[in-house]
Amino acid sequence: MTIYVTKSFLPPFEEYAEIVRKVWDNGILTNHGPCVKELEAKLKDFIGTQNLYYVTNGTIALQLALSALDITEGEIITTPFSYVATTSSILWERCKPVFVDIEPHNFTIDADKIEAAITPNTKAIMAVHVFGYACNVEKIQQIADKHGLKVIYDGAHAFASRYKGKSLLNYGDISTLSFHATKLFHTIEGGACIIKNKEVADKLDLRRRFGHTGDNHYSLGINGKQSEFHAAMGLANFPYISDIIRKRKQVCNLYDNLLQGLIKRPAAQEGLEYNYAYYPVVFKSEAELLKVFAALNAQDIYPRRYFYPSLNNLPYLVDKQSCPVSEDISSRVACLPLYPTLAEQDIEKICKIIKEVL
């Protein structure tokens, strides 16, 4: 049996079909239908926010965040260690990404290096809660307040992570989510924006629906609306969130026990309730990583290089910026298979192969 890095959770088919039947009966397929509104209400309650909008995907969520904050040009301080969508969203909004290196223990942006990267053209900080671990939200906010900058958190990995008693998504001016099928909570495709300020939230809502209400056009917009069928999957998955996280934690704990002392792992911050979104490991070298991958692939097991390459080295960037910590970590970090139904014997097999190589 092939083992991939993840396997999407699917609720009982009958439960999804029951919700879809209601869509069939009312004939509303999109444009903020009942399922979308119900899912938004559940997510608001789960996260503890007043302003949340469900959108088509996590990349559009980032672009809408920049647009709603009226950031259409200038420099955005960001991390080189993330999925490419973080950088892409900045470039699509015609801004310039300015990369600040990561700290070596949990791989989030190094807040101690941010201030040195600020220029008169800096408009915002776009940081990433990588793998669901928390950025240094206190220091980032202090820097932003001092220099009059907006803070956007790419929280694609941070659903259900809590920091100091509240959702990690309630920090910054806007946090974004991805509900892609690979995420621990998914709607097949999808994303969301969590916005602190109501006026900004209203602006974002308008821009996700083409910038118009009825026949009255107010601003440039985009089609960021989500369908009832995607929302139906979210509603069907929603009751299982706690169970999904509990089972993922069990998988992670078994990996910890079997691989103890062999590989480096990110360090969770004090006060973080982790969501077990990923199981990242760091090998001693890229050559060692590739040897492990070859051995696992030979047994039809496919971990994934999250995140490679370091984004400051993307070939289409004009200005090259040095980020030695990110470049080093990205060359030798990988995520091992992690999903609720991953069998104990498969985890043991994965760890046995890794041990044999190392």
> What is the distance between the alpha carbons of residues 95 and 98, in angstroms, rounded to a whole number?
10
How far does Cα 220 stand from its chain's mean position? 26
Burial class of residue 156, CB neighbours in 10 A (0-12, 13-18, 19+): buried
- 51 belongs to a structural domain: yes
Q: Residue 72: is its pLDDT beyond 90?
A: no
Same domain, 280 and 299: yes
Place of tokens 């979104």: 277
> What is the distance between the alpha carbons of residues 144 and 151, in angstroms, rounded to a whole number?
7
Q: Residue 292: which domain range?
A: 241-357
Q: Residue 320: is its pLDDT beyond 90?
A: no
Same domain, 51 and 114: yes
Q: What b/e readout covers 332-344, taking b as 16+ CB neighbours within 10 angstroms?
A: bbbbbbbbbebee
pLDDT of residue 127: 98
pLDDT of residue 153: 98
Q: What is the DSSP letter of 238?
A: G
Same domain, 231 and 92: yes
> What is the distance between the alpha carbons of residues 178 and 198, in angstroms, rounded to a whole number?
22
Among residues 221, 238, 255, which one ends one of the domains? Answer: 238
Q: What is the DSSP letter of 227?
A: -
- 20 belongs to a structural domain: yes
The predicted model gives 336-345 an average pLDDT of 98
Which H or E run includes 345? helix 344-357
As a whole number of Å, the end-to-end CA separation of the chain is 24
> What is the distance between the alpha carbons of residues 187 and 273, in angstroms, rounded to a whole number?
23
* Structure tokens belonging to residue 330: 């990205």
pLDDT of residue 286: 98
- 2 belongs to a structural domain: no
pLDDT of residue 116: 98
- 113 belongs to a structural domain: yes
> What is the distance between the alpha carbons of residues 48 and 221, in angstroms, rounded to a whole number?
27
Burial class of residue 358, CB neighbours in 10 A (0-12, 13-18, 19+): middle
pLDDT of residue 324: 98
Q: Please provide the DSSP assignment of 107-165 as one string.
A: -SB-GGGTGGG--TTEEEEEEE-GGGPPP-HHHHHHHHHHHT-EEEEE-TT-TT-EETT
Same domain, 247 and 352: yes
CATH number, domain containing residue 214: 3.40.640.10
Same domain, 175 and 259: no
CATH number, domain containing residue 262: 3.90.1150.10
Same domain, 289 and 265: yes
Burial class of residue 255, CB neighbours in 10 A (0-12, 13-18, 19+): buried
Which H or E run includes 212? strand 212-213
pLDDT of residue 305: 97
**Tally of structural domains, the chain:** 2
Same domain, 212 and 275: no
Same domain, 166 and 18: yes
Same domain, 77 and 96: yes
- 295 belongs to a structural domain: yes
Residue 246 one-letter amino acid: R
Q: Please provide the DSSP assignment of 43-111 as one string.
A: HHHHHT-S-EEEES-HHHHHHHHHHHTT--SSEEEE-SSS-HHHHHHHHHTT-EEEE-PBPTTT-SB-G
The CA distances from residue 12 to 17, 39, 233, in Å, are 9, 18, 11
Same domain, 83 and 172: yes
Confidence of residue 319 (pLDDT cuts 50, 70, 90): confident
- 67 belongs to a structural domain: yes
Among residues 216, 238, 260, which one ends one of the domains? Answer: 238
The predicted model gives 60-82 an average pLDDT of 97
Nearby residues of 225 by Cβ (< 8 Å), 6 or more positions away: 30, 31, 32, 36, 55, 56, 208, 209
Q: Please provide the DSSP assignment of 166-179 as one string.
A: EEGGGSSSEEEEE-
What tens digit of pLDDT does each residue of 276-289 get? 999 999 999 999 99
- 175 belongs to a structural domain: yes
Same domain, 176 and 246: no
Side-chain-side CA neighbours of 130 within 13 Å: the count stands at 32
Q: Please provide the DSSP assignment of 285-343 as one string.
A: -HHHHHHHHHHHHTTTEE-B-TT-S-GGG-TT-SS----HHHHHHHHHEEE----TT--
What is the chain's alpha carbon radius of gyration, rounded to the nearest angstrom? 20
Among residues 194, 217, 238, which one ends one of the domains? Answer: 238
Same domain, 202 and 256: no
The predicted model gives 132-155 an average pLDDT of 98
What tens digit of pLDDT does each residue of 203-241 get? 999 999 999 999 999 999 999 999 999 999 999 999 999
